[in-house]
Amino acid sequence: MNRAADHPQTNPLREGLSTRAVPQPCVVVIFGATGDLTHRKLVPALYNLAADGELPPALAVVGFARRPKTNEEFRRELEEATRKFSRQPVRDEIWNTFAQSIFYHQSEFADLEGYQTLALSLQKIDKERGTRGNRLFYLAVAPDQFEPILKNLKSVGLNHAPEGSWARVIVEKPFGTDLASARALNRIVNNSFSEEQTYRIDHFLGKETAQNILVLRFANAIFEPLWNTRYIDHLQITAAETLGVEGRAGYYEGSGALRDMVQNHLLQLLCLIGMEPPTDLGADSIRHEKVKVVRSLRHIVGPDVAANVVRGQYDAGAINGKTVVGYREEKNVDPKSMTETFVALRINVDNWRWADVPVYLRVGKRLPKSGTEMSVHFKKAPPVLFNKESVALDQNVLVVRIQPDEGISLRMQAKIPGTSLRIEPVKMDFHYGTSFGKASPEAYERLLLDAMSGDATLFARRDEVEEAWAFIDPIEEAWHAIKNVPPLYLYPAGSWGPEEADALLARDGRTWRRL
């Protein structure tokens, strides 16, 4: 998005070749290098960038982890993982060249000496490989490890780069578990790295269709005049998955759907669909507008929580014809767990554009179908002519599908051929997969490249994160109160959540869109 990131247009040979900021030579230091994220996402993403020729000319990857391992062992492990998880087949020639730039650094996260030797290794890599003192630190670790890592990076001066170079840190979610912990975490991060150096990753924003929301809204003049309370009845955002907790029970028990999905992914999507046009495509111009949306959310407090938020937990049921256990029967889950695996919310955005336009968010595990989408439900045509009581036309609905089968569809009314006047909804449907043969890059590819280029547009800013927690906290507080606790409804796996979620819309005369 931000073409004016690092060193814009100073290389005349780049003219006409790139429409994005150019990634700079750097060393990517991954903390938690032996973990799942590194193996499944980060290194396959870096390999794909290398295979597509997108990486900067000089790039090195240093894996920082506790287990003793040689460079060769580390490279072999990563090769195996990349062959398994890469979106494109691994070519030996490319992997072998790429692997030469991968190194392993063994140290405890809390061991200062490990960082002193890391600093020396990075200097050596700079000299040998031309990475020019640029550092991208990726914290692929649990948040409780942030503090020792960041403190030690600061102690050895790796939080600052020499003149003309840069040091940046990428932080993985969760960004805290509430406002207080998010602030504490942000303080920890900002004690070592300034906000400009900090990149909070939300992989939803790296998805092609999420980026396309701004294009849809601001590159097509037909939508913007309609994009307001005068023409829009309500908005819906749904993130459904058929999967259960899948070995993440340890994390999920302390998190739940609201913290895991709504605080970050769904509110980020709401920002994109609800924001005002930015003054330019600069990272902060876009993020200024996004944060205004979160700031405008009417907080749901006390008794309003029960009226506007429905939480649920999956019980035993069936997915795709196979029986599955309930959440409380999952491994490592408390048999009396009150953790929500489903949440539906009715939200109000108190600003001029969205006044009286409710936003319904829904996220859940073990739902019948996986899919993430946003839908804009326009007001019905006036109840005259074709829209008289006896005909009752449907609304026009614009749907942006984020995953899978990314695309956009528009529902409208059409006359059924024949001598009588029968009107039915029809759908104009655009599928990325049908129209463009080329598969979209993985979100992590885009985001890693953006961080190397200094383009923070698709990363969450501190105030966005904290404002989102400020909205989420009162709901969590109501759920964890001693008295008048809103109920946790059980729903059978394979259903669309508790009936109360349907009632949330039904009382407004609306229904959830069928995915």
Rule CB under 8 A: which residues touch other proteins?
A: 7, 10-17, 19, 22, 24-25, 50-53, 55-58, 93-94, 97-98, 100-101, 128-130, 132, 164, 404-405, 431-439
Contact 171, 137 (CB under 8 A): no
Q: Which is nearer to other proteins, 279 or 434 (CB)?
A: 434
Question: CB 100 → other proteins: shortest distance, Å?
Answer: 7
Residue 312: name the closest of 493, 152, 77 by CA. Answer: 493
Look-up of token digits 């195996």: 80
- DSSP line for 466-495: HHHHHHHHHHHHHHT-SSSPPPEEEEETTS
* Gap between the Cα atoms of 37 and 393, Å rounded: 48
* Gap between the Cα atoms of 190 and 183, Å rounded: 10
Q: Which is nearer to other proteins, 165 or 351 (CB)?
A: 165
96 burial via Cβ count (<10 Å: 0-12, 13-18, 19+) = exposed
Question: CB 164 → other proteins: shortest distance, Å?
Answer: 7
Question: CB 290 → other proteins: shortest distance, Å?
Answer: 28
Angle at 242 between CA 90 and CA 327, to 5 degrees: 120
Residue 290: name the closest of 208, 188, 229, 214 by CA. Answer: 214
Question: CB 92 → other proteins: shortest distance, Å?
Answer: 10
Contact 326, 339 (CB under 8 A): no
In angstroms, the Cα distances linking 509 to 103, 356, 403, 503 are 59, 14, 28, 9
Question: CB 431 → other proteins: shortest distance, Å?
Answer: 7
Catalytic annotation on 265? yes
Q: What is the DSSP letter of 321?
A: T
Question: CB 85 → other proteins: shortest distance, Å?
Answer: 17
Look-up of token digits 């600052």: 160
Q: Which of 105, 203, 265, 377 is catalytic?
A: 265
CB within 8 Å of 36: residues ≥ 6 apart? none
Contact 320, 195 (CB under 8 A): no
Q: Which is nearer to other proteins, 417 or 437 (CB)?
A: 437
Residue 287: name the closest of 400, 456, 142, 419 by CA. Answer: 456
Question: CB 13 → other proteins: shortest distance, Å?
Answer: 4
- Residues that are catalytic: 265
